[in-house]
Copies of this chain bind each other. A is one copy, B any other.
Amino acid sequence: MTVGRHIPEATVARLPVYLRALVEVADAKLATISSERLADLAGVNAAKVRKDLSYLGSYGTRGVGYDVEFLLYQISRQLGLTRDWPIVIVGVGNLGRALANYRGFAARGFRIVALLDADSDKVGERLGEHSIRHMSELDTVVKKEQVAIGVIATPAVVAQEVADRLVEAGVNSILNFAPTVISVPANVALRKVDLSIELQILSFYHQRAVIANDLAAGEGGLVAALDAVAERAAGGAGSRDRARKRDEDDGADVAISAG
C-alpha cells in the first residue's frame, strides 16, 4: 500500500469499531485475527476490513492474519488515542450528568477537566471528581488546561453561543449533543449526536415495516386501501434495504453505556 495518506471518512468512522473488537480479542489472549473474523465482530464485510486496514499500511500477514497488538497500536495511533486529550463538558443537565459519569471517556484517553454550567445554583455542586464551575470560567479553563475537545450538552437555544465561545477560546473540536444545527469555522471539527433525530429516522423505517407487515398479513379492504400508499412508501425493495442497513450504517452513531 502506498503508505496511507488521506484515509476516507467512512473508514475513519469504522476504525473505532475495529478498535473495540480488537480489545476484546486481545483480552481473549488471541495473538492474531483474520479479516474475516474481525469483520464478523465489527458487523461489516471482510473485504471492507482489509481495504480499511490497508489505508493504515500493510500490517497483515498473508496466510495468517493481523497481529492483534500491533493492529491495536496502529489504529490507536491513527485515531490519536496514544495521548490524552483534555475535554470540557458544557451544560450539566440530564445529559451532561450522564456524560460526566460516563466511564468510557477516561478509558480512551479523554480526560474531563471541567464541567461548566450557566446556572449559578449548580455551580459548586460536586459531580464525580469535579465540581461544577460557571460558564464565565470557560475561557480560563480552556486556555489553562489546553482543552482539545468541547462537548456541548446545553439546551438548543444557547448551543451556538457556546460553540462560538469555545472556538473563541481556542477549542478546535466540538461534539454537539444539543438538538440544533450549529456552525463553526472551517478549521474546527464538529460532530453531532442527536437522540431525537435517530428516533425519527428509525420511525421512518419502522413505518415501512408496519405497512409491509400489514400487507403481508391481511387481505381485507385494509390491504386494498393501503396498497397505493405502501407501494410508494415501502417500494419493492424494503427487505433488501434493511439488510444493507445493518452492515453499512455509518451515518451517525453515538454511544453511551449505562452504568
Binding site for B on A (CB under 8 A): 3-6, 9-10, 12-13, 15-17, 19-21, 23-24, 26-27, 41-43, 69-70, 72-73, 77-82, 85, 87, 91-99, 101-108, 110, 148-149, 153-156, 172-181, 183-184, 186-207, 209-210, 213, 231-233, 235-237, 239-259
Contacts and interface: CB of A to CB of B under 8 A. Distances in A.
The count of identical subunits is 2
A91 B190 CA distance: 29
A175 B198 contact: yes
A259 B93 contact: yes
Contact of A257 (B101, B155, B237): B155
Contact of A190 (B173, B193, B257): B257
Nearest first, the 8 A-B pairs at minimum CB distance are A251-B255, A252-B254, A194-B255, A93-B258, A104-B249, A250-B256, A193-B254, A80-B207
Contacts of A97: 94, 98, 258
A181 B255 contact: no
Contacts of A184: 246, 258
A187 to B, nearest CB: 6
A213 B201 CA distance: 37
A96 B101 CA distance: 12
Given A175-B202, A190-B256, 10 more contacts: A9-B257, A16-B201, A20-B197, A91-B258, A104-B195, A175-B199, A177-B258, A179-B257, A191-B201, A252-B254
A258 B186 contact: yes
Contact of A23 (B105, B187, B188, B244): B244
Contacts of A91: 258
A129 to B, nearest CB: 15
A253 to B, nearest CB: 3
Contacts of A176: 254
Contacts of A6: 235, 237
Contacts of A42: 181
Contacts of A237: 6
A20 B26 CA distance: 44
A99 B246 contact: no
A55 B16 CA distance: 33
A248 B103 contact: yes
Nearest to A19: B200
A9 B259 CA distance: 11
A255 B244 contact: no
